[in-house]
Protein backbone atom coordinates (compact mmCIF):
# COMPACT_ATOMS: atom_id res chain seq x y z
CA UNK A 1 0.00 0.00 0.00
CA UNK A 2 1.39 3.39 -0.95
CA UNK A 3 2.14 5.96 1.73
CA UNK A 4 1.00 9.55 1.75
CA UNK A 5 3.58 12.29 1.40
CA UNK A 6 2.93 13.22 5.02
CA UNK A 7 3.77 9.65 6.08
CA UNK A 8 6.90 9.59 3.93
CA UNK A 9 8.17 12.85 5.43
CA UNK A 10 7.50 11.83 9.03
CA UNK A 11 10.56 11.15 11.17
CA UNK A 12 8.60 10.21 14.28
CA UNK A 13 10.50 7.68 16.37
CA UNK A 14 13.84 8.32 14.66
CA UNK A 15 16.90 9.93 16.16
CA UNK A 16 19.21 12.43 14.47
CA UNK A 17 22.64 13.79 15.38
CA UNK A 18 23.38 17.28 14.07
CA UNK A 19 26.90 18.60 14.53
CA UNK A 20 26.91 22.36 14.81
CA UNK A 21 23.18 21.96 15.33
CA UNK A 22 22.75 25.19 17.28
CA UNK A 23 24.58 27.38 14.77
CA UNK A 24 23.22 29.60 12.01
CA UNK A 25 22.42 26.90 9.46
CA UNK A 26 22.45 24.09 12.02
CA UNK A 27 19.48 25.63 13.81
CA UNK A 28 17.30 25.34 10.70
CA UNK A 29 18.44 21.74 10.21
CA UNK A 30 17.65 20.87 13.83
CA UNK A 31 14.26 22.59 13.58
CA UNK A 32 13.45 20.51 10.49
CA UNK A 33 13.97 17.26 12.38
CA UNK A 34 11.99 18.45 15.39
CA UNK A 35 9.10 19.59 13.20
CA UNK A 36 9.03 16.17 11.50
CA UNK A 37 8.97 14.38 14.86
CA UNK A 38 12.56 13.17 15.26
CA UNK A 39 14.48 13.05 18.50
CA UNK A 40 17.71 15.03 18.42
CA UNK A 41 21.24 15.18 19.68
CA UNK A 42 22.62 18.67 19.08
CA UNK A 43 26.40 18.76 19.32
CA UNK A 44 29.09 21.42 19.30
CA UNK A 45 31.92 22.83 21.36
CA UNK A 46 29.52 25.43 22.77
CA UNK A 47 27.52 23.25 25.16
CA UNK A 48 25.53 26.14 26.59
CA UNK A 49 24.30 27.08 23.12
CA UNK A 50 23.22 23.47 22.54
CA UNK A 51 21.33 23.43 25.84
CA UNK A 52 19.43 26.58 24.90
CA UNK A 53 18.49 25.23 21.49
CA UNK A 54 17.37 21.85 22.82
CA UNK A 55 15.17 23.48 25.44
CA UNK A 56 13.60 25.72 22.78
CA UNK A 57 12.86 22.79 20.46
CA UNK A 58 11.21 20.76 23.19
CA UNK A 59 9.08 23.75 24.13
CA UNK A 60 7.97 24.45 20.56
CA UNK A 61 7.04 20.78 20.03
CA UNK A 62 5.23 20.63 23.40
CA UNK A 63 7.54 17.87 24.58
CA UNK A 64 6.71 15.58 21.65
CA UNK A 65 10.41 15.03 20.98
CA UNK A 66 13.50 14.54 23.08
CA UNK A 67 16.42 16.86 22.35
CA UNK A 68 19.77 16.21 24.04
CA UNK A 69 22.67 18.70 24.08
CA UNK A 70 26.14 17.16 23.99
CA UNK A 71 29.55 18.80 23.87
CA UNK A 72 31.73 17.73 20.96
CA UNK A 73 35.17 18.97 19.90
CA UNK A 74 35.70 17.57 16.42
CA UNK A 75 39.34 18.61 16.39
CA UNK A 76 40.11 15.88 18.93
CA UNK A 77 40.75 12.63 17.11
CA UNK A 78 39.22 10.45 19.83
CA UNK A 79 36.17 12.69 20.37
CA UNK A 80 33.75 10.94 18.00
CA UNK A 81 33.80 7.46 19.63
CA UNK A 82 33.51 9.05 23.07
CA UNK A 83 30.64 11.17 21.81
CA UNK A 84 28.69 8.11 20.71
CA UNK A 85 29.26 6.51 24.09
CA UNK A 86 27.35 9.50 25.48
CA UNK A 87 24.69 9.25 22.78
CA UNK A 88 24.00 5.64 23.73
CA UNK A 89 23.20 6.67 27.29
CA UNK A 90 20.16 8.44 25.85
CA UNK A 91 19.28 6.45 22.71
CA UNK A 92 19.90 2.88 21.62
CA UNK A 93 21.07 3.95 18.16
CA UNK A 94 20.82 6.86 15.77
CA UNK A 95 19.02 6.88 12.42
CA UNK A 96 20.40 10.07 10.90
CA UNK A 97 23.82 11.75 11.01
CA UNK A 98 24.21 15.31 9.76
CA UNK A 99 27.79 16.50 9.40
CA UNK A 100 27.30 20.24 9.49
CA UNK A 101 29.86 21.69 11.93
CA UNK A 102 32.31 24.31 10.67
CA UNK A 103 34.47 27.09 12.04
CA UNK A 104 37.45 28.93 10.60
CA UNK A 105 39.18 32.20 9.83
CA UNK A 106 38.39 34.51 6.91
CA UNK A 107 41.79 34.10 5.31
CA UNK A 108 42.86 35.31 1.91
CA UNK A 109 45.49 33.53 -0.21
CA UNK A 110 48.05 36.03 1.05
CA UNK A 111 47.17 35.70 4.74
CA UNK A 112 46.50 31.97 5.14
CA UNK A 113 49.16 29.94 6.98
CA UNK A 114 49.77 26.22 6.92
CA UNK A 115 48.29 26.03 10.42
CA UNK A 116 45.12 27.76 9.20
CA UNK A 117 44.90 25.39 6.23
CA UNK A 118 45.27 22.30 8.42
CA UNK A 119 42.66 23.61 10.86
CA UNK A 120 40.07 24.16 8.13
CA UNK A 121 40.66 20.78 6.51
CA UNK A 122 40.47 19.10 9.91
CA UNK A 123 37.18 20.71 10.92
CA UNK A 124 35.51 20.59 7.50
CA UNK A 125 36.67 17.27 6.06
CA UNK A 126 38.48 15.09 8.60
CA UNK A 127 35.68 15.53 11.12
CA UNK A 128 33.19 14.10 8.60
CA UNK A 129 35.34 10.98 8.31
CA UNK A 130 35.64 10.64 12.10
CA UNK A 131 31.94 11.10 12.80
CA UNK A 132 30.89 8.76 10.00
CA UNK A 133 33.30 6.09 11.17
CA UNK A 134 32.02 6.35 14.74
CA UNK A 135 28.36 6.30 13.65
CA UNK A 136 28.74 3.38 11.25
CA UNK A 137 27.60 0.59 13.59
CA UNK A 138 24.49 2.54 14.57
CA UNK A 139 23.61 3.33 10.97
CA UNK A 140 24.04 -0.31 9.95
CA UNK A 141 21.51 -1.32 12.60
CA UNK A 142 18.98 1.29 11.56
CA UNK A 143 19.69 1.31 7.80
CA UNK A 144 20.15 5.00 8.35
CA UNK A 145 20.93 8.20 6.54
CA UNK A 146 23.96 10.49 6.36
CA UNK A 147 23.66 14.09 5.21
CA UNK A 148 26.86 16.04 4.67
CA UNK A 149 26.91 19.81 4.30
CA UNK A 150 29.09 20.95 1.43
CA UNK A 151 29.13 24.39 -0.14
CA UNK A 152 28.61 26.27 -3.35
CA UNK A 153 32.39 26.52 -3.34
CA UNK A 154 32.65 22.75 -3.41
CA UNK A 155 32.01 23.20 -7.13
CA UNK A 156 32.82 26.75 -8.15
CA UNK A 157 35.73 29.06 -7.61
CA UNK A 158 34.95 32.30 -5.78
CA UNK A 159 34.96 35.45 -7.89
CA UNK A 160 37.93 37.44 -6.57
CA UNK A 161 36.19 40.70 -7.55
CA UNK A 162 33.61 40.16 -4.82
CA UNK A 163 36.08 39.90 -1.96
CA UNK A 164 38.30 42.56 -0.46
CA UNK A 165 40.85 40.09 0.88
CA UNK A 166 40.24 41.26 4.45
CA UNK A 167 36.81 41.60 6.00
CA UNK A 168 35.07 39.42 3.42
CA UNK A 169 37.97 37.18 2.49
CA UNK A 170 37.23 33.70 1.15
CA UNK A 171 39.74 31.18 2.52
CA UNK A 172 41.24 28.81 -0.07
CA UNK A 173 41.06 25.98 2.47
CA UNK A 174 37.26 26.17 2.75
CA UNK A 175 36.29 25.25 -0.80
CA UNK A 176 39.04 22.65 -1.04
CA UNK A 177 37.86 20.88 2.11
CA UNK A 178 34.20 21.07 1.12
CA UNK A 179 35.00 19.62 -2.31
CA UNK A 180 36.53 16.70 -0.43
CA UNK A 181 33.26 16.31 1.48
CA UNK A 182 31.34 15.96 -1.80
CA UNK A 183 33.68 13.29 -3.14
CA UNK A 184 33.58 11.47 0.22
CA UNK A 185 29.77 11.58 0.05
CA UNK A 186 29.84 9.79 -3.29
CA UNK A 187 32.32 7.22 -1.99
CA UNK A 188 30.18 6.49 1.05
CA UNK A 189 27.00 6.27 -1.02
CA UNK A 190 28.62 3.48 -2.99
CA UNK A 191 30.35 1.52 -0.28
CA UNK A 192 27.67 1.85 2.41
CA UNK A 193 24.79 0.94 0.09
CA UNK A 194 25.08 -2.81 0.90
CA UNK A 195 24.07 -1.90 4.47
CA UNK A 196 21.03 0.06 3.33
CA UNK A 197 22.63 3.36 4.30
CA UNK A 198 21.86 6.37 2.12
CA UNK A 199 24.40 9.20 1.89
CA UNK A 200 23.75 12.60 0.33
CA UNK A 201 24.96 16.18 0.58
CA UNK A 202 23.57 19.67 0.29
CA UNK A 203 25.64 22.55 -1.02
CA UNK A 204 24.31 25.90 0.26
CA UNK A 205 25.33 29.23 -1.17
CA UNK A 206 25.41 32.01 -0.40
CA UNK A 207 24.22 32.05 3.23
CA UNK A 208 26.18 34.84 4.91
CA UNK A 209 25.87 35.14 8.69
CA UNK A 210 23.81 38.04 10.13
CA UNK A 211 26.82 40.29 10.96
CA UNK A 212 27.98 40.03 7.33
CA UNK A 213 24.47 40.83 6.10
CA UNK A 214 24.79 44.30 7.65
CA UNK A 215 27.19 45.25 4.86
CA UNK A 216 24.78 46.33 2.13
CA UNK A 217 27.22 46.70 -0.76
CA UNK A 218 28.64 43.21 -0.23
CA UNK A 219 25.12 41.74 0.04
CA UNK A 220 24.21 43.36 -3.26
CA UNK A 221 27.26 41.79 -4.91
CA UNK A 222 26.39 38.37 -3.50
CA UNK A 223 22.73 38.62 -4.47
CA UNK A 224 23.54 39.65 -8.03
CA UNK A 225 25.52 36.44 -8.55
CA UNK A 226 22.41 34.24 -8.87
CA UNK A 227 19.19 34.31 -10.93
CA UNK A 228 17.00 34.74 -7.84
CA UNK A 229 18.92 37.91 -6.97
CA UNK A 230 18.99 37.28 -3.23
CA UNK A 231 21.03 35.54 -0.57
CA UNK A 232 19.89 32.35 1.12
CA UNK A 233 18.14 32.28 4.47
CA UNK A 234 18.35 29.28 6.85
CA UNK A 235 14.73 28.23 6.23
CA UNK A 236 15.63 27.74 2.56
CA UNK A 237 17.44 24.55 3.61
CA UNK A 238 14.51 22.89 5.36
CA UNK A 239 12.90 21.34 2.29
CA UNK A 240 16.16 19.81 1.08
CA UNK A 241 16.95 18.38 4.53
CA UNK A 242 13.44 16.94 4.90
CA UNK A 243 13.59 15.27 1.49
CA UNK A 244 17.05 13.74 1.81
CA UNK A 245 16.69 12.52 5.40
CA UNK A 246 13.19 11.06 5.24
CA UNK A 247 11.53 8.22 3.34
CA UNK A 248 10.40 10.82 0.80
CA UNK A 249 13.97 10.54 -0.50
CA UNK A 250 14.33 6.78 -0.10
CA UNK A 251 15.52 6.33 -3.70
CA UNK A 252 18.05 9.15 -3.55
CA UNK A 253 21.69 8.50 -2.64
CA UNK A 254 25.08 9.81 -3.69
CA UNK A 255 23.61 13.17 -4.66
CA UNK A 256 24.60 16.74 -3.88
CA UNK A 257 21.62 19.06 -3.86
CA UNK A 258 22.59 22.66 -4.63
CA UNK A 259 20.59 25.17 -2.60
CA UNK A 260 22.12 28.24 -4.19
CA UNK A 261 19.41 30.33 -5.85
CA UNK A 262 20.62 29.07 -9.22
CA UNK A 263 24.16 30.45 -8.82
CA UNK A 264 25.64 27.43 -10.56
CA UNK A 265 23.64 27.84 -13.78
CA UNK A 266 25.52 30.96 -14.83
pLDDT tens column, 119-141: 999 999 999 999 999 999 999 99
- Give me the pLDDT at residue 173, please: 96
- Give me the pLDDT at residue 47, please: 97
Instruction: Tell me the average pLDDT across 4-18.
Output: 98
- What are the tens digits of pLDDT across the range 229-264? 999 999 999 999 999 999 999 999 999 999 999 998
- Domains of the chain, each with CATH number or no CATH: 5-265 (3.40.50.720)
**What is the spatial distance between Cα 21 and Cα 242, in angstroms, rounded to a whole number?**
15
**What is the spatial distance between Cα 193 and Cα 198, in angstroms, rounded to a whole number?**
6
The chain-wide mean pLDDT, for the chain, equals 96
- What are the tens digits of pLDDT across the range 189-238? 999 999 999 999 999 999 999 999 999 999 999 999 999 999 999 999 99
For the chain, percent of residues with pLDDT exceeding 90: 92
Strand order in the sheet with 39-44: 67-71, 39-44, 15-19, 96-99, 145-149, 198-204, 256-259
Question: Catalytic residue among 24, 119, 153, 174, which?
Answer: 174
- Give me the pLDDT at residue 185, please: 98
Cβ burial 70-93 (10 Å sphere, 16+ → b, else e): bebebeeeebbeebbeebeeebeb
* 160 flagged as catalytic: no
**What is the spatial distance between Cα 187 and Cα 112, in angstroms, rounded to a whole number?**
29
What region does 143 belong to: left with phi over 0, alpha with psi -120 to 50, or beta?
left
The pTM score is: 0.97
- What are the tens digits of pLDDT across the range 163-183? 876 778 889 999 999 999 999
Dihedral of CA atoms 180, 181, 182, 188 in degrees, nearest 10, equals 110
- Give me the pLDDT at residue 165, please: 64
188: confidence class by pLDDT, cuts 50, 70, 90:
very high
**What is the spatial distance between Cα 52 and Cα 55, in angstroms, rounded to a whole number?**
5
- What are the tens digits of pLDDT across the range 60-108? 999 999 999 999 999 999 999 999 999 999 999 999 999 999 887 888 9
Burial label, 140 (beta-carbon count in 10 A; 0-12, 13-18, 19+): middle
Amino acid sequence: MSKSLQELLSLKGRTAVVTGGAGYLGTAISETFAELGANLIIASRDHAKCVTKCEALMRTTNGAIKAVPLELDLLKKDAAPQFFDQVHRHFEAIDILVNNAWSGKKNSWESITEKDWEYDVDISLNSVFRMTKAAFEDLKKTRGVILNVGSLYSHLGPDYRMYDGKEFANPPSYGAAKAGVIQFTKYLASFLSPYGIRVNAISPGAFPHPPTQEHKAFMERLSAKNPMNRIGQPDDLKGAVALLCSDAGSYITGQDLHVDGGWGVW
